[in-house]
Amino acid sequence: MNRIHTFALLAILLIPGLSTAQEGVKIGLRLSPIIGMANMTDSNKEDIPNLDSKIRLGWSYGLLVDYYFKEHYAFHTGVHIVNKGYRATFSNPSLKERVRVTAVEIPLALKLRSSEIGDGVRLKGTFGLSMDAYVGYRNKYEGNSPFDGTNGDGVNKNTKMLNLAGVSFIYGAGLEFSASDVGTIEVGLSFHQGLNNINNRSKSQRDMLIRANYLALDLGYYF
C-alpha cells in the first residue's frame, strides 16, 4: 500500500501544475463504487467445467485531468486507485474464492461532450484505453487450496500471483452539470474491460486465463 500512497502523492503534487501551465486543462477528483467480475477460461480459452464466477463489489478513487483541445473534445487522463475483484466457486474439487485486486490505472482516452441541453447540462461520452499496474492481491479461499492442493481455508496476499501490468478498454457515458460558482459535477456509467490475463501462471501454478472487468458508477467533481 505504501507504493500506492507514494504514487498518488506524486500525482497530487505534479498534476495541478499542469492546470496552470496550459489553458483548457480541468483538474478534478473521482469516487466510484464498482461491480467487479472476471472472465475465466483455461489456457486454450475454453470454458472451465464446474466453475461458477460471480460479481464482487469494490470501489475506485483518484485524480481526473481533462485537456480540452476543442470546445467539445478533450484528452482524458488521471490516476485512479481501483479495488476490483470477483468470486468463484469450483465444484470439483470443492473450492470457494473471494478475490480482490488493487490496481493503479492511468486512462488515456478521448472525451466528447455535447452543447448544453439545459442550463449548464451537457451529455458526455468517453472511450479509450487504461494502462494498469497491479499492486495488491488478496484471495480468501475455502476448501482445497488453489495454490498447493492442501485442504483447508486460508488467505493468500502474495502479489506475485498477478502479472505486473495490463491494458483495459474503457467506454462510458453520462451527464455534466456546470455552475460557475461551484465547479462541474459529472455522473455517469463506464465499463472497463480487461484485455490481458492477470494470472501469473508460473507463480500461481494455475493453468487458467483471468481477465478482470468492472462496471463503475462514476462520480466526478472538477474545480
Grid cell, residue 125, equals 461520452
- For the chain, which domains are there? 2-222 (2.40.160.20)
Higher pLDDT, 125 or 1: 125
**pLDDT score at 22:** 44
pLDDT digits (tens, 9 = 90+) for 148-183: 656 678 888 999 999 999 999 999 999 999 987 888
pTM: 0.86
> Are 219 and 190 in contact, with CB atoms under 8 Å apart?
no
Measured at the CA of 73, the angle between CA 70 and CA 78, to 5 degrees, comes to 115
Q: Name the strand (E) or helix (H) holding 203.
A: helix 201-204
Higher pLDDT, 87 or 24: 87
**pLDDT score at 180:** 76
Grid cell, residue 58, equals 469494490
Q: Phi and psi (nearest 5°) for 14?
A: -90, -40
pLDDT digits (tens, 9 = 90+) for 102-129: 999 999 999 999 999 988 899 999 999 9
Calculate the dihedral angle through the C-alpha atoms of 115, 116, 122, 126, rounding to the nearest 10 degrees: 0
Measured at the CA of 8, the angle between CA 5 and CA 13, to 5 degrees, comes to 125
pLDDT digits (tens, 9 = 90+) for 33-64: 999 999 999 988 999 888 999 999 999 999 99
Q: Which of 161, 162, 160, 142 is nearest to 152 (CA)?
A: 142
